[in-house]
Structure 1
Amino acid sequence: MDDLPAPLVFHQMETAVELPRPDAATEAAVRRVLGRRRPLHDRETAPVDRLDLLAEALTPELTALVVLWLGGTRRASRDTRIGYADDLLLWADWARRELGRERFGLDLHRGEVTMWLTCQQDAGAAASSVSRRLSTLSSLYRYAAGWGLPVVSPISDDDHRPKFHRGRRATSARVLDADQVAALLAAASDVRDALAVGLLYTGALRVSELCGANDTDRQDEGRRTWLVVTRKGGKSIRIPLETTVAELLDLYRASRPAWTGTGPAPLIADADGDRLDRHDVTRLLRRLARAAGIPRPETIGPHSLRATAITDQKRRGHSAEDLQELSGHADVRTVMIYIDDDGRAERVAALTDDLGRIMTAVPRHLKSPG
């Protein structure tokens, strides 16, 4: 981001507006939160800082504005900031391919958004994904207008907002059955793949919790191994690991690629030793799904395992309160005040162990001897 202007001068509609350039501390904080990912359409290149990818895809002025935007306190959730960054990369990629714009700026008009929407629909994008990407751009336009920039959002509720029914479910992820999750495990060819499936399923983890976990977050206490994960909103909580998952983690740690970055080593890394991101995990799961012969593998993602775990335990008769504890959902937080803390860990550990019944599908050669 060395090419950022100082002060930042935004030229829009023949009007120049000066904005403060993000200071080094804000830029470093946003860079740290966004983390790294592989460039779009390039699975071979090593992961790159998302902020650097944004700097390549956006105009210098917009890059600086985005740093201020993502550094704001209203976007405190790490997942939200990463989601915004990835959505902007998708917008910029589309504008480059379809509109011939090498750098993306806040100069889209209503007809171009209609073109984008048509491309999304032709590609079979889910209505929820389309809505989220529109919301990302709309939020950025509102932020820019708040700085006094003469921009008008090209997004029209009449033309562009897809209508879809959310229902009572918190997710539209595909729900598998336990046998299909077992098939994913049986298709694993290395410890890391089996470990990722086991953690996501038996812990009902969000993919951000899996990817954000560090090696130092693993804790042993008595006969139980625990993992500290960061929930939405930044709250850290300790979850129990199912026995076979804990054993796989021990085996994986012994063979994990060396960590050469700064800060704690990631719990799970890619082949180069870099931290996995949600795209890596999605590709991993779909590769296993194809190998396992599961129909429509392209519809399976990390949230499928979380949704499947919660659905499985609901069908087996567990209470809403226990499911809230397993999943970390905040919907019944008030009810949780009345639950005895002393028995809470035991109940969640029991849920984890019950989900672990499918871990017998891990190939024998991936387990520790004896």
Structure 2
Amino acid sequence: MEGLINHFIHYLAVEKGLAENTLASYQGDLNQFRAFCREKELDPMGAGGRGVVMAYLLQLKKSGRSPATISRHLAALKSFYRFLLAEGLVHMDATANLESPRPPQRLPRVLSTREVESLLSQPRISTAAGLRDKAMLELLYATGIRVSELVSLDLAHVNLEHGFVRCFGKGARERIIPLGSVACHYVSEYLLRSRGTLVKGKNTAALFVNQQGQRLTRQGFWKIIKKYARQGRINKVITPHTLRHSFATHLLENGADLRSVQELLGHADIATTQIYTHLTRARLREIYDHTHPRAADIKKSN
């Protein structure tokens, strides 16, 4: 089974062009399934494959895995078995008609505009690392890109003259995102005053580098944003996606349409973007009162 998993991962990489992080997730989930089958001495490729898959999902549930995690494992297995069936390596899809558990919908954690201002004002731009951090935070909030996309940016991906950034999201899908004047200013300042000091003469295409002159990692950025959240006394759980969530929510609150936000975020399905429409009833009422021609108080119209 190990060989089949490797064959499948190679197919996803070459034929589907999936990102390395996605490939690693698929491989990790399928290797857990393989370990389960080996431990229980079960054959997932035979006629009883469906029972094996169901037993595995049940064990995940009993071990306390969340519905979202179980859904992810099942999605990996579905893709794997469809691949095996298409290749003629199995005679039936053991995952056919198996439904994923519905996880409770969790609203994304977002910062208020005041909290964003506080967070973005924390870096000390008088230092090389501080100016880099300021440029990263401003770019992240200005574009809403994922942290993995941020740290993957090369110098050639940013056009400061015309104000846009080119990034490659999930499935290697390319998108062009506008870059505001504030973000352009600090990225430009970083390139002029800071990056050379951090690179230390090394030849690297990476836009953002660490103190060793190497491409900054997601883990490195995670530590940076947590530090500034503490300094700004932001009493909310901060994740690497917090600025992305805040970017989308603030756009919608200020009148952006859902399709535009979907395009900016790089969501393949607009249903994914709809989670950001969690405006309060008071805010919705305010928008309605200011935009609908018949919303005005009847006394005012007489």
Match of 2:173 in 1: 234
Match of 2:118 in 1: 183
1:67 alignment partner AA: H
Structure 2 segments unaligned to the other structure (5+ residues): 46-51, 125-129, 271-302
The alpha-carbon distance between structure 1 residues 257 and 156, as it changes in their structure 2 partners (threshold 3 A), is farther
The alpha-carbon distance between structure 1 residues 135 and 203, as it changes in their structure 2 partners (threshold 3 A), is same
The alpha-carbon distance between structure 1 residues 269 and 109, as it changes in their structure 2 partners (threshold 3 A), is same
Task: Give distance in 2, aligned partners of 1:230 and 1:272.
Answer: 25
Say whether 1:206 aligns with 2:146: yes
Which of 114, 125, 138 pairs up with 2:78? 138
Say whether 1:249 aligns with 2:190: yes
The normalised TM-score by structure 1 is 0.53
Q: Is the 8 A contact 1:106 1:151 kept in 2?
A: no
State the Cα deviation string for residues 133-160 of structure 1 (Å, max 9, x = none).
32123212221232222387665866x7
Say whether 1:307 aligns with 2:245: yes
Task: Give distance in 2, aligned partners of 1:283 and 1:149.
Answer: 45
1:174 alignment partner AA: R
Q: Is the 8 A contact 2:153 2:207 kept in 1?
A: yes
1:161 alignment partner AA: S
SS in 2 for 1:256: helix
SS in 2 for 1:294: coil
Q: Is the 8 A contact 1:180 1:294 kept in 2?
A: yes
Task: Give distance in 1, aligned partners of 2:240 and 2:252.
Answer: 19
Match of 1:3 in 2: none
Match of 1:63 in 2: 6
Q: Is the 8 A contact 1:213 1:266 kept in 2?
A: yes
Q: Is the 8 A contact 1:120 1:130 kept in 2?
A: no
The alpha-carbon distance between structure 1 residues 147 and 319, as it changes in their structure 2 partners (threshold 3 A), is closer
Give the % identical residues.
21
Q: Is the 8 A contact 1:202 1:242 kept in 2?
A: no
Say whether 1:147 aligns with 2:87: yes
The normalised TM-score by structure 2 is 0.63
Task: Give distance in 1, aligned partners of 2:239 and 2:91.
Answer: 36
Between 318-327 and 226-235, the greater mean CA deviation after superposition? 318-327
State the Cα deviation string for residues 234-293 of structure 1 (Å, max 9, x = none).
3342532433432453244233335868xx612123444443454554454345435544
Say whether 1:116 aligns with 2:60: yes
Match of 1:216 in 2: 156
How much does 1:184 deviate? Answer: 2.9
1:227 alignment partner AA: V
State the Cα deviation string for residues 269-318 of structure 1 (Å, max 9, x = none).
34444434545544543454355443452xx3333212211211322334
1:303 alignment partner AA: H
- Where do 1:273-284 residues align within 5 Å? 273-284=213-224
Task: Compute the RMSD of aligned alpha carbons.
Answer: 4.1
SS in 2 for 1:71: helix
Structure 1 segments unaligned to the other structure (5+ residues): 1-11, 13-58, 333-370
How much does 1:327 deviate? Answer: 4.2
2:241 alignment partner AA: H
Q: Is the 8 A contact 1:62 1:106 kept in 2?
A: no
2:85 alignment partner AA: A
Task: Give distance in 2, aligned partners of 1:220 and 1:191.
Answer: 17
Q: Which structure features the higher share of helix residues?
A: 2
SS in 1 for 2:88: coil
Task: Give distance in 1, aligned partners of 2:81 and 2:133.
Answer: 40
SS in 1 for 2:176: strand
Task: Give distance in 2, aligned partners of 1:294 and 1:313.
Answer: 21
How much does 1:178 deviate? Answer: 1.8
Match of 1:194 in 2: 134
Task: Give distance in 1, aligned partners of 2:26 and 2:249.
Answer: 29
Q: Is the 8 A contact 1:204 1:307 kept in 2?
A: yes
The alpha-carbon distance between structure 1 residues 296 and 322, as it changes in their structure 2 partners (threshold 3 A), is closer
The alpha-carbon distance between structure 1 residues 143 and 328, as it changes in their structure 2 partners (threshold 3 A), is closer
Task: Give distance in 2, aligned partners of 1:272 and 1:94.
Answer: 39
1:193 alignment partner AA: D
Say whether 1:82 aligns with 2:24: no
